[in-house]
Chain A
């Protein structure tokens, strides 16, 4: 099956620093990638959708200047949390979808971010 990886799996940073999270589709080309955030004991909330080579589409309430998304190739998308604050601490999960399979999103293992 399709595999999506994320790196790092866990990161701790100081308040005010920026953190970059990578999402890679390992065995297929992902025309669309998605970034979700999940707070403890809560559901997944879609943050943004990115298509290769174009600007990401952010969901309402998500600050595009704070959560920078780059989908530079068909196998890689990055999420950069800029000037991170403790309230940004969360579990960030990416997913990827290939052009040929409508509706099938393959999820990465997630990145746990802790901002001190």
Chain B
């Protein structure tokens, strides 16, 4: 059975600090996605990682993918309050982009 595990599930951090969210998965895949969800809202796409070693950065967020280790990371640099949200990773287990399996999500709270 495919498992997509995120940790931590809840993260409370001070503004200005750095932290990393981890996403481990149990099957072979070279396509992984990170999404942000604000309360009561749908998903906003953050990163699409399509190959081993892929690294993408947008503002204070940087995502990477290691398909051999079946691990992706979302690194937060110098957190600000506006980053408070729930972050999901999702693994594509199909060959044609038809099946995403989501992690449980990480609730991030950045304190001023």
* A binding-site residues for B, Cβ under 8 Å: 32, 34, 42-46, 49, 93, 97, 101-110, 112
Contact = CB atoms under 8 A, between A and B. Distances in A.
B6 to A, nearest CB: 9
Given A43-B88, A109-B41, A102 B102 contact: no
B99 A46 contact: yes
A21 to B, nearest CB: 13
A109 to B, nearest CB: 5
Contact of B42 (A32, A102, A107): A107
A97 B97 contact: yes
Nearest to A94: B42
Contacts, number: 50
A45 B67 CA distance: 23
Nearest to A51: B98
A108 B33 CA distance: 16
Contacts of B48: 103-104
Interface residues of B, number: 24
B78 interface: no
Interface in B14-52: 31, 33, 35, 40-45, 48, 50
B104 A43 contact: yes
A74 B104 CA distance: 31
29 contacts: A32-B98, A34-B98, A34-B100, A42-B104, A43-B88, A43-B102, A44-B88, A44-B90, A44-B102, A46-B100, A46-B101, A49-B99, A93-B43, A97-B97, A97-B98, A101-B97, A103-B33, A103-B92, A103-B96, A104-B48, A105-B97, A106-B45, A107-B35, A107-B43, A107-B44, A108-B42, A110-B41, A110-B42, A112-B40
